[in-house]
Amino acid sequence: MSLHGTEISLVPMPCRWNLDPMNLQSLISPALDPSRFGDVVTDFLSHHHWQASRPSLAHIAELSRQFGRLPYENLSKIINLSQYPDAPPLRMPDTVWDGFQRQHLGGTCYALTFFLTTILQFFNYDARPVTAEMNWGKDVHSAIIINFQGIPYLLDPGYLIHQPLPLSPTTPQHLHYPHLTVELRADSERETFSVYTWRKGQATWRYRFHSNPLDWETYARRWRHSFALPSMDGLVITRVTPTGMIYIHNDYLRITRTGGVQKVRDQNMVEQTIQESFGIDMRIVEAARLALRQNRSGKQTQTGDEDATR
């Protein structure tokens, strides 16, 4: 089903998406406004059978889990940057949802956070975005703070957290998955919260954030800046599965299951997994690979340094 009666398709060289002007207008919206996308949320809701009563934490979790069917992928973002290097478009919920239905695409954390926040605000939940620091930079990740009955909770569509975790200043909070445990812990000295993952008794720090939500203007500015981040220097696709998680970075594949972790570096196996586990057409992957080379070439030209992107 097309949300606007338009097609988004891949065409031969130079590997551009054929974007309808109406769809493009949504892509480059000058301001982030979740209220514009009520029809998209309605269509998203029509594809699922909902059981939890609302408003409730169970309902919030159900919305987030169903939304988790959309994969984290930066292929679409890399292609957009190649097509519009001076002003790359922000993928709005209608574009993300249409891309998922037609081509099994999803988005990166900024696009997924905005879309899920749009869904939550549709039900009048007090949901707003935050950005987070990771080990390679500030404001390189995004998530959602949702206040429910006077208590703030964390949701993160890009990082496994589909069950609302309360932001407790004293007690670490945990989510237990078959293959790992996610921990949310306060840092009183920094006045921040951190997310860790635990596997086989070992903790790995993932990201840190301040709990004060952002206004949409600040969020949009950081979203636009994300096109220049190191995460755009390689193709990444990942999703949670019933038994674990699939993670792909260029020709590297990691499949995490309850019984262990499988790691391989094999392009053929990566391509097979993309097609079978994600349903993404290899023409999109090839378009993203070409766009990635073009983006790298453009970055080297701007800096005059052959090693600028390594």
Residue 11 lies in a domain: no
pLDDT digit string (tens) for 108-127?
999 999 999 999 999 999 99
pLDDT at 21 over 60: no
The predicted structure's pLDDT at residue 241: 83
* Rounded percentage of the chain residues whose pLDDT exceeds 70: 86
Q: What's the mean per-residue pLDDT of the chain?
A: 87
Across residues 259-281, what is the average pLDDT?
94
Segments forming the whole domain that contains residue 188: 16-300
Domain contains 183: yes
Tokens of 275: 């097609």
The candidate with the shortest Cα–Cα distance to 130, out of 138, 113, 117, 142, is 142
In a domain, 58, yes or no: yes
The per-residue pLDDT for range 271-291, each reduced to its tens digit, is 999 999 999 999 999 999 999
- Let me know if residue 5 belongs to a domain: no
Indicate the pLDDT class of residue 159, thresholds 50, 70 and 90.
confident
Task: For residue 270, give the CATH number of its domain.
Answer: 3.30.2140.20
Any domain includes 309: no
- Residue pLDDT, tens place only, 28-70: 445 799 999 999 999 999 999 999 999 999 999 999 999 999 9
Instruction: Please answer whether residues 129 and 214 qualify as being in contact, where contact means their C-beta atoms are separated by less than 8 angstroms.
Output: yes
Confidence category of residue 212, pLDDT binned at 50, 70, 90: very high
How distant, in Å, are the alpha carbons of 2, 44, 93, 308 from that of 39? 12, 9, 10, 43
In the predicted structure, residue 221 carries a pLDDT above the cut 80: yes
Q: Enumerate the H helices of 123-232 as residue ranges.
A: 216-225
Whole-model pTM: value is 0.87
Report d(CA 280, CA 234) in Å as an integer. Answer: 17
* 138 C-beta neighbours (distance < 10 Å), count: 11
> What's the structural domain count of the chain?
1
In a domain, 202, yes or no: yes
Q: Which tokens in the block code for residue 11?
A: 């065409």
* Structure token digits, residue 308: 């600028």
Query: Residue 267: is it exposed, middle or buried by C-beta count within 10 angstroms (0-12/13-18/19+)?
Result: exposed
Q: Where are the alpha helices (DSSP H) in the chain?
A: 21-27, 38-45, 57-67, 75-83, 93-103, 109-122, 216-225, 267-273, 282-303
